[in-house]
Structure 1
Amino acid sequence: MPGFKFPNGVTVELIKGDITEVEADAIVNAANSYLEHGGGVAGAIVRKGGWVIQEESREWVRKYGPVPVGGVAVTSAGKLRAKYVIHAVGPRCGIEPIEKLDDAVTNSLRKAEELGLTSIAFPAISTGIFGCPYEDAARIMARAIRREAPGLKSVRRIIICLYGDEAFNVFNRVFNDELREYKTG
C-alpha cells in the first residue's frame, strides 16, 4: 500500500476499499451543506453507522445552520468503527470553485486535531455526484495534506480511502507526484 511519512512522524496511506470499514478515530463524510445523507459516501455511512448519524446531522443544522462549502460539522459515528464522522462539504464542480476542496480537507484535519484524534480517513471528496475530476481533487487534497501535516500534533495517521480502481490509480499517481519526497515504499 502506498505510503508517505513526514519528518514529524505523520503518515499518509492510500487504500482501496469502503470507508465505512476503515479503523480510524474519525472518518470524513463527503457531505452537502444541509447534512442530508441520501446517497454516495454519505448514504453508505448512515446505512452502516445507523440513523443516529442522520439525526445528529439534522440537529447540527438546526442549531448552527447549513455548513458552508469548505466547512465541517462533527457527529458521532454510530455503529461504525470510528468515534466520529467529520462531515466536510466539498465544492460542487461547475458551481463552486474546486479550490474550496482545500478548505474542506484543511478544516477536517484541524477539527481532528482539535478533538485530539490520532487518525482520520478521507474519501475522494467532491468526486461523486459533485462531479469533480479525480485528478484535480487528488492534487488539491495532496497539497492541503502536504501543507498541514508538518503542523499536526495529535493526528499521526491520515488515510485516503478510495472506492474503485480508477480513483485509486489516479490518486496514487498524483500523491506519488505531490508527496514524492515523503514516499516510504
Structure 2
Amino acid sequence: MTVLEAVEADITTQDVDAIVNAANSQLLGGGGVDGAIHAAAGAALLEECRQVRASRWHDGLPVGEAVATGAGELPARWVIHTVGPNRHRGQTDPALLASCFSGSLDEAARIGARSVAFPAISAGVYGWDADEVAQTAVSTVRSWVASHPDEVDLVRFVLFGSAVHQAFDTALAT
C-alpha cells in the first residue's frame, strides 16, 4: 500500500529515490524550487538537463510532461522535471496540472523510483491557488496509485510554508 504524506520541509534534503522539480520549460534552472534544486544538485544536474534538451526536447519541455535525470549532489537518486501550467499565461486547465503529477509518477515507475517527493507544482509564482493545487495533486496521485498499486511505496508532498502545508493536509484528510 502506497503511503501519501505531507511535510513542511526543504525538498532538496529529502532522502527519497526521486524528487520532482517544478521546472521551467528550458530545464536550465530558475527561481523557487527549480533554483533551489539546481543549486543543491550542482553542475552535474545542469549538464544532464542540457543533454536532455539537445537529445529530445529541443524547444523545451512542454507543460505537463516529465523527464528524469540524475540528481547530482542531492540525497535523491533522480530528479524528475515537470513544467506546471502558468495561470498568468492563461494555462488554467486543471488537467494540465494533473498531468504534471501523473506524468511524474509514470516517469518514477519507468526508472524504478519507489519513493517520490513532490513540491506544490504551480502554486505561488505560477498563480495557482494552493488549495486547488493540493486537491488536484492528491486526487491525481490517489487515482494513479489505484491503477498502479505496486509501483511506488511513498509519495511525499514536501511543502514550503505552513499555509501550503495545511492545504495539502486538508486535501489528504478528505
TM bucket (normalised to shorter chain) is over 0.9
Query: What residue is the counterpart of 1:169 in the other structure?
Result: 166
Query: What residue is the counterpart of 2:140 in the other structure?
Result: 144
1:62-81, aligned counterparts within 5 Å? 62-65=54-57, 66-81=60-75
- In 1, distance between residues paired with 2:162 and 2:44? 31
| TM superposition shift of 1:174 | 2.0
2:27 pairs with 1:30: no
Structure 2 gap ranges (5+) = none
Matched residue type, 1:123: P
Structure 1 gap ranges (5+) = 1-8, 178-185
Residues 92 and 98, structure 1, Cα contact 8 Å, conserved in 2: no
TM-score scaled by length of structure 1: 0.88
Matched residue type, 1:171: F
| TM superposition shift of 1:171 | 1.4
Query: What residue is the counterpart of 2:92 in the other structure?
Result: 97
Over the matched positions of the two proteins, sequence identity in percent amounts to 35
What's the RMSD between the two structures over aligned residues?
Answer: 1.1
1:143-179 deviation digits (Å, cap 9, x = unpaired): 10111112332311100001111110111112212xx
**Matched position secondary structure for 2:61:** coil
- In 2, distance between residues paired with 1:174 and 1:151? 20
1:14-29, aligned counterparts within 5 Å? 14-29=6-21
- In 1, distance between residues paired with 2:167 and 2:113? 28
Number of residue pairs aligned between Structure 1 and Structure 2: 169
**Matched position secondary structure for 1:12:** strand
| TM superposition shift of 1:131 | 1.5
- In 2, distance between residues paired with 1:123 and 1:32? 14
- In 2, distance between residues paired with 1:32 and 1:155? 25
Query: What residue is the counterpart of 2:119 in the other structure?
Result: 123
Within the candidate set 148, 151, 157, 1:154 is matched to: 151
**Matched position secondary structure for 2:6:** strand
**Matched position secondary structure for 1:121:** strand
Residues 23 and 30, structure 2, Cα contact 8 Å, conserved in 1: no
1:16-71 deviation digits (Å, cap 9, x = unpaired): 10000111100000011111212100110111111211121122112112111100
